[in-house]
Structure 1
Amino acid sequence: MKKLVLALSLLCSIAACSAEKHPASTSGTEHPTSADLKEASTMKIRLTINGMPTTATLIDSPTTRDFIALLPITLKLDDYASTEKIAYLPKNLTTQGAPAGIDPAVGDITYYAPWGNLAIFYRDFGYSKGLIKLGRFDTGVEALAASDSLTILIEAIPR
């Protein structure tokens, strides 16, 4: 009987520790929103859009680390659906550990895995399967709405 009580106590302890490591989403939706994604370990990047510099903060994830390995990079951003600017990357990024999709917010820098492109949102948009958040503009996202096509230089900012 003592062994059974001890075994049940051990199982309850393990379950409690596991629950602490995997908190429930705070958004109240079944799909993760931009706010649900942790930004525990971050990196700053500089984005120069048609000669105008701004900054963004990237989150730490396998997809983001793959993206950082491409920096510095100059891309041509084209408008897509009057909502986002997109550019095709020179290689596909890993999707290891990524959610099935996200609900992007204005200013989000994302990777759209099905097409292999960078997507930066300057207007609100709904949940998209295959969309992975890389980070978020700190300021200056309004510069993206200025024209249909833009040139952007993205580079890491040393710590």
Structure 2
Amino acid sequence: MDISATIDGRPASASLNDSPAARDFAGLLPLTLDLEDFHQTERIADLPRRLTTSGAPEPAAPKAGDLAYYAPWGNLALFYRDGDSANADLLILGHIDADADQLGTADRITIEAAS
């Protein structure tokens, strides 16, 4: 599913996968989130509610640009560096096509359904 992302006012193309968690996330859109750095690998933000984790795909190590949901905390993660390992609690929702510098310094992201 194509979505629209704006990172600190700059548009970026993005898409969600077809997982139950990604479809549940799409139901929250439009959404604007303030991001903070986490472990110099990802930018994170709290979601307004927890997402479903039923039917979750096999764990995969996140790549730069991946949009993911960390189930134990109920937060969204936007990776600007590749993650070091697969984690069963981290569900990849989709991908944002932006360079690592833009992702790594992002303070605010707005995500909407594609028009």
Q: TM-score, normalised by structure 1?
A: 0.67
Identical columns (%): 51
Amino acid at match of 2:34: K
Q: Distance in 2 between matches of 1:53 and 1:141?
A: 14
Paired residues of 1:109 and 1:134 also in contact (CA < 8 A): yes
Which structure has the higher relative contact order (CA within 8 Å, separation 6+)? Answer: 2
Q: Point out the structure with the larger strand share.
A: 2
Amino acid at match of 2:105: A
Q: Give, in whole Å, the separation in 2 of the partners of 1:94 and 1:88.
A: 15
Aligned length: 114
CA distance in 2, matches of 1:141, 1:65: 26
SS in structure 1 opposite 2:33? strand
CA RMSD, 1 decimal: 1.4
Matched, 1:146 2:102: no
For the pair 1:44 / 2:5, whether they are aligned, the reply is no
Larger radius of gyration: 1
Q: Aligned equivalents of 1:89 and 1:46: distance in 2?
A: 17
* Aligned counterpart in structure 2 of residue 67 of structure 1, from 25, 48, 51: 25
Shift of 1:141: 4.5
**TM-score normalised by length of structure 2:** 0.91
For structure 1, the residue ranges without an aligned partner over 5 or more in a row are 1-42
Query: Alignment partner for residue 132 of structure 1, among 91, 101, 104?
Result: 91
| In structure 1, distance between residues paired with 2:9 and 2:97 | 17
